[in-house]
Structure 1
Amino acid sequence: MNTAAIAAAAGYSVQQVRDLEALGVIPPAVRDRSGYRQFSPDHLQGLRAYRDLAHAVGPVEARRAMRQIRIDPLDQAVALVSEFHARLNQEREKTLAARSALESISAEATTDDAPVEGDSMTITELTRALGVRASTLRFWESVGLVEPERVTTAAGTARRYPVRAIREARITAALRAGGYRILDVQTAITAVRELADVASSLAALDARLQAIAQRALALLRSGAILADIIDRQAHR
């Protein structure tokens, strides 16, 4: 196949095929006597694998991987692709943790005692509201689950819990009561903090889960071709 033919078959422009060849995504094409590129079915498969891989992990990582699997030893090449699956799974777990965290406090959003912007609580008020000990709140603070503010009082300094800290404490209390381990709660709290808006709807997180699933599916589609490339490289 010439450049135009493989571009049409792979769904790329002619220039994109040339760029991807130059970047090492596919091996260099054979040149005919006139100097024109001639591509094989393996090149076409490589371009198709790259398309799915780029969807799954992003173009920069995909380009790096397509180059590396052609030069790395078998174990390293396999580990590289396996890591992509692991990262996607971690992203899914993180999103699920954020969903669980928001779901755990979603019911309170419509209640009269739900915290609103500008609210804050002392450690005593928050322990009463949650039904936990002050030592428990201090422990949650020590492992990064709750971040109170320190304020100056006549007696020295004291903890003050603004709305975000109250929300985090409520999430932590709800998840701990549901049997979540501290590490699980840390994952959930981190995920919630990374949301652009802590009040993001469950529907938005469900959409993110679907997007992750589509990326994982694309990674699976590319897998057979990547395995074939790795296997052929190992037997050279």
Structure 2
Amino acid sequence: MSSPLSRTARAKACALAASATALLATGLLHPTPAAAASAQATAAVLDLDGTGRTPVVHGEDRAYDTASIVKVDILAALLLQAQDAGRDLTVSERKRAEPMIRRSDNAAANALWREIGRAPGLAAANKRLGLTSTTGGPGAKWGLTRTTAGDQIRLLRAVFDTGGAVHAGSGGLDADSRAYIRTLMSRVVPEQTWGVPAAGADGSGKALKNGWLQRDTTGLWDVNSVGQITVKGHRYLVAVLSDGSASMSDGVSLVERTARAAVG
């Protein structure tokens, strides 16, 4: 069922592998048949310009590790806390939020994870944003937050859909907060723009965040992609979560195939 990566997709995956520490060196090996068979993916899609408000889920909507897609959730929690305090983000907070989303900077995520109050702070924000199946990672391990594709669509709606009433201590993200997250997600560095845009996104209509993580216990990869894409004039929210890939390259390929099938 696996198809080879295009030159462009392979180049992006290799660029990420080069920057993600020496652990990635073994991730480019060809998968064994058993490892390839263990890979699974789930996609959820919502057409924002359609008539329905319920996402279509492809596959079992079970929990996966978030890896770095949780950074959108961390930023949403930070912005909610700032809203409640009646203030804008500080210069220091912006200097961390922007590389956290645009370059997937882990040091920035570490700092902001602590600032929001780690898993309890994330849970408080997610309750307000309508997420029901997301559990923050233990201690400092934000990348081991568990979530479902359906919950990621709920988070994306909180960012890309029209917001409801917002009051200090209740309600969702206000217009300025939503615009800030959307702007950062639309300016992700080029080598990290794989994933959901493979579903045929129009050139200027994509905003995304990807995540990738090699598990110490198995050596297998979690690879995820979430965001908004525009296809033939319609705005789609797309979340693709996967695990069990033998390499990062295979995970990227699986995510992109799954996104194309789910949207197309």
TM-score normalised per structure 2: 0.27
Whose radius of gyration is greater, 1 or 2? 1
Greater percentage in strand = 2
